[in-house]
């Protein structure tokens, strides 16, 4: 008689089925405590954990944004919230040092979300971590919409044939951390560009001919060389790229509003647009300095 087994695998399957059945009724952002946390970790291959404290104003402010993101990603990524003021041990496991905290848990590891705590930014970040590395769109308006979601990230934008799409898929999968990758389906001309900073487009300086042997390495070196803008916004999300860019120096420009206080991100971006021309001309005078200007954002101000 065959023995019925209950190894890790069947247990996992049971968890997954249970989770699926249960998730039909659940809220998009559901509560967990120290006891059912372990269960949820097994049941969901990917989960965003939101640590909060009920008395913390920042937590209360961020929760509706997390909920928005949870609703938009429902069915793809589970979103759970944990009262870290009660579940101290769980919070410690994640090295939580302040409320609120937002973590993506997948493949046995976790990663903290460090970007702007707005629903759209959270969705974009989660998608960049779990979704397809190359976002394929059919129309230019969808592409435009994707550009608006990219936040401070540089993007590779390509369009053309299926052959080029395959090449870009490989590049995107290996370089997820680099930024965003978009592909516009279009059977006409093959094109590859880098979009960076304040709507700065740089086209590949070679012919994008998919029959050429060296096309993939050429695209790779092109995006490596062009990923950082001459004038761009810096935040926790992209600071790493600046740190590792090998630039000799960075010139930081901090904008203030008419009260003399450092301004909010939107005002700041507007001012960066207004001063774009003069900042760029400073940049061209110092070619040995790779990245010259920055726009301070709300994150830096805390
Ligand atoms: C976990 O337990 C808490 C109560 O201790 C409950 O409120 C919550 O709904 C439970 N979550 C799940 C996913 O069962
Ligand atoms: C693009 O079109 C294909 C097939 O026509 C469709 O499956 C896909 O969902 C579309 N993509 C978007 C982003 O609309
Ligand atoms: C200037 O920015 C500060 C935030 O740093 C904000 O509180 C204030 O309302 C802003 N003032 C104006 C006039 O925009």
Other beta carbons within 10 Å of 235: 20
- Residue 195: strand, helix, or coil: strand
> Which fold does the domain 132-226 belong to in CATH?
Glutaredoxin (3.40.30)
From CA 214, how far away is CA 201, in angstroms rounded? Answer: 23
First-to-last alpha carbon distance for the chain, in angstroms, is 65
| Residues whose CB is less than 8 angstroms from the CB of residue 66 and which lie 6 or more positions away in sequence, other chains included | 29, 48, 50, 79, 81, 102, 117, 119, 122
Q: Hey, CA dihedral for 254, 260, 263, 269, is it positive or negative?
A: negative
Report the atom number in ligand 3 closest to the C-alpha of 262.
5
Measure 23 CA to ligand 2 centroid, in angstroms: 27
Alpha-carbon gap, residue 285 to 228, rounded angstroms: 17
* pLDDT tens per residue across all 302 residues of the chain: 333 333 334 444 445 555 554 555 578 999 999 999 989 988 888 999 999 999 998 999 999 999 999 998 888 899 999 999 999 999 999 999 888 999 999 988 999 998 778 888 898 889 888 888 999 999 999 999 989 888 888 999 999 999 999 999 999 999 988 889 999 998 778 999 999 988 889 999 999 999 988 999 999 999 998 888 878 888 767 777 887 777 777 778 877 777 777 777 778 788 888 888 888 888 778 766 654 444 444 333 33
- Distance in Å, CA 258 to ligand 3 centroid: 8
Residue whose Cα lies nearest atom 10 of ligand 1: it is 32
Ligand 3 pocket, residue 266 CB under 6 Å: no
* C-alpha pair distances (Å), 152 with each of 54, 139, 159, 205: 31, 23, 22, 24
- pTM (whole model) above 0.75: no
Where are the domains positioned within the chain? 8-128, 132-226, 231-301
**Cβ 262 under 6 angstroms from ligand 3:** yes
- 8-128 folds as Glutaredoxin (3.40.30)
Would 8-128 and 132-226 be classified into the same CATH topology?
yes
């Amino acid at each position: 008689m065959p023995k019925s087994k209950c190894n890790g695998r069947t247990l996992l399957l049971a968890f997954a089925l249970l989770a699926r059945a249960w998730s039909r009724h659940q809220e998009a952002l559901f509560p967990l405590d120290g006891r059912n946390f372990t269960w949820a970790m097994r049941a969901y291959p990917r989960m965003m954990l939101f640590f909060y404290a009920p008395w913390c104003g920042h937590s209360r402010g961020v929760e509706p944004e997390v909920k928005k993101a949870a609703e938009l990603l429902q069915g793809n990524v589970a979103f759970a919230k944990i009262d870290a003021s009660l579940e101290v041990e769980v919070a410690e496991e994640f090295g939580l040092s302040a409320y609120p905290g937002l973590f993506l848990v997948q493949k046995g590891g976790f990663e903290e979300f460090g970007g702007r705590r707005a629903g759209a930014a959270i969705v974009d970040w989660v998608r960049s971590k779990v979704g397809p590395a190359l976002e394929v769109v059919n129309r230019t308006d969808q592409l435009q919409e994707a550009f608006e979601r990219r936040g401070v990230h540089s993007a590779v934008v390509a369009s053309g044939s299926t052959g080029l799409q395959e090449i870009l898929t490989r590049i995107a999968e290996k370089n997820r951390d680099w930024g965003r990758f978009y592909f516009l389906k279009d059977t006409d001309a093959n094109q590859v560009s880098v979009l960076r900073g304040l709507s700065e487009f740089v086209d590949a300086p070679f012919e994008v001919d998919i029959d050429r042997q060296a096309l993939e390495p050429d695209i790779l070196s092109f995006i490596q060389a062009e990923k950082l803008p001459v004038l761009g916004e810096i935040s926790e999300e992209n600071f790493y790229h600046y740190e590792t860019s090998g630039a000799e120096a960075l010139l930081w420009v901090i904008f203030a509003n008419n009260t003399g206080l450092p301004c909010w991100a939107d005002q700041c971006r507007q001012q960066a647009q207004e001063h774009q021309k003069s900042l760029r001309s400073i940049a061209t005078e110092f070619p040995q300095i790779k990245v010259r200007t920055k726009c301070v954002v709300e994150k830096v101000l805390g």
